[in-house]
Amino acid sequence: MKKLSTIVVFLSSAMAVAPLSIDAKEFEFDYSGSYRVRYETLNNPIFPTTEEVRSKTNERISTRIRLKGEAKYGNWEGAVEIEDSRAYLDDNDPTLKSSQVNTLEPVQFYLSYKGISEHIDSVTVGRVTLDHGSRRLMARTRFRNATSSFEGAVIDSRWNDWSVRSFYLLPVSRFPVDTASIDDNKRAFDKSFSNRKFFGIYAESSDKAWKIHSYWLKESDSADLNTKNRDLFTFSVDHTREFSEGWKYNIEAIGQTGHARQSTSSADITDRDVKAWMIHSHLGKQISDSTFLRAEIDAASGDSDANDDTIHAFDSLYGLRRFDYGPTDVYQTFPRSNILAPGLRSVTKLDGLHNIMIGYKALWLQKVASGDEDFLGHQLEFRWRYQAFKPLRLELGGAYLAKGDALDSGAYSDDAMYAYTALMYTF
């Protein structure tokens, strides 16, 4: 924590001596928030399991309240955001984690100083949530019920028409973590640990055609935190381009290297090399005034031997996967690791009120042991959003997985069927 304190003191001093012109400015305050309630149901879990571990059918009602207050005075801005995420009906589901339940927690409280110089737009210190680029490595939650937060410093700047964000952060761990407390929606304050650090640079060109990410994650075990002792460097290049007659393509290539352990167990003290990668690409076109259609492919490296000296399983850090692989939470879609998934997707927007998404994926394991099956199945996904009026949005969706031979085991080898409905009020 000493390093973070030093940075905070340095940045606070820098802001204190920056030119101030706030005497003539008015104090401004704004607030916003949202309330979402969602019902989910799943028949036949995706991954092989037994009746003793998980029931065949699962239902859940989840709620999420977000309240945010923002204050501005001259070049200064501050904000506090409180989130309350809960789950009901979900009795002893082993997939229910703190990523879905986080009761009454300040997910953001920060102070920013803007307009520091020609090149430095702002400096922010405190607890924040961040969205970066494709959101595959760092993102603020939308579908998932609870939100990831970070504590530290963020600097937004401009260099040669590029927007550049540099940051030094401590990821915030959500509490409680024991199954009984999560199932009962009990609360405990979240906190960060000085033995887990996340820092890097995100840069975006002025036309948004190029996005470059570089992230360093360094962690080690302590009396209060068990980790995989990850020491990872992750580098991403993301390029988007429009060409002949409205066609548009995107490709993101990510490489990952460093060291880590296979598990967070205190008995696991073997450091292994990490060599992993991930690729996403799509090609699409606006085929009508309302519909965009694209072909896409996602792939990420994986392991077929957990006992060798190298980890090839890709680590998506603090990114999300819902928009590539389907709903998370109850459905528990596929991880962004050891996977190959080509597919098709269409998005139709009608009258500014209706948003309809239809997606298809064929899914394989990227790497398996000799003689093992690799086909996971065919997945169909559907989502319809209806903006009933400005603050109120209704949403229906679901997924169907025709399981392949790689999932033909356990007590529930039949196809997985999932549906959800949600209502969100925003103010």
List CB contacts of 244: < 8 A, sequence separation 6 or more: none
- Number of neighbours of residue 5 by Cβ within 10 angstroms: 10
pLDDT at residue 10 greater than cutoff 50: no
pLDDT at residue 391 greater than cutoff 90: yes
Summarised one tens digit per residue, pLDDT across range 358-371 is 999 999 999 999 99
pLDDT at residue 3 greater than cutoff 50: no
Amino acid identity for residue 161 in this structure = D
Structure tokens given for 68: 């945010």
Summarised one tens digit per residue, pLDDT across range 268-326 is 999 999 999 999 999 999 999 999 999 999 999 999 888 899 999 999 999 999 999 99
Summarised one tens digit per residue, pLDDT across range 116-155 is 999 999 999 999 999 999 999 999 999 999 999 999 999 9
pTM: 0.91
Contact 422, 395 (CB under 8 A): yes
pLDDT at residue 15 greater than cutoff 60: no
pLDDT at residue 6 greater than cutoff 60: no
Q: Report how far residue 47's alpha carbon sits from residue 399's, in angstroms, rounded to the nearest whole number.
A: 15
Q: What secondary structure does DSSP assign to 211-277, as a single string?
A: EEEEEEEEE---SS------EEEEEEEEEEEEEGGGEEEEEEEEEEEEEE-S-S-TT----EEEEEE
- Number of neighbours of residue 17 by Cβ within 10 angstroms: 7
Place of tokens 């399991």: 49
- In degrees rounded to 5, what are phi and psi of residue 179? -60, -45
**Beta strand pairing call for 120-128 and 150-159:** antiparallel
What mean pLDDT is predicted for residues 236-256? 96
pLDDT at 17: 44
Q: What secondary structure does DSSP assign to 393-420, as a single string?
A: EEEEEEEEEEE-GGG--SS--SPEEEEE
Using DSSP, state whether 137 is helix, strand or coil: coil
Angle value at C-alpha 192, between 313 and 129, nearest 5 degrees: 75
Angle value at C-alpha 383, between 140 and 361, nearest 5 degrees: 85
- Across the chain, mean pLDDT equals 93
List CB contacts of 10: < 8 A, sequence separation 6 or more: none
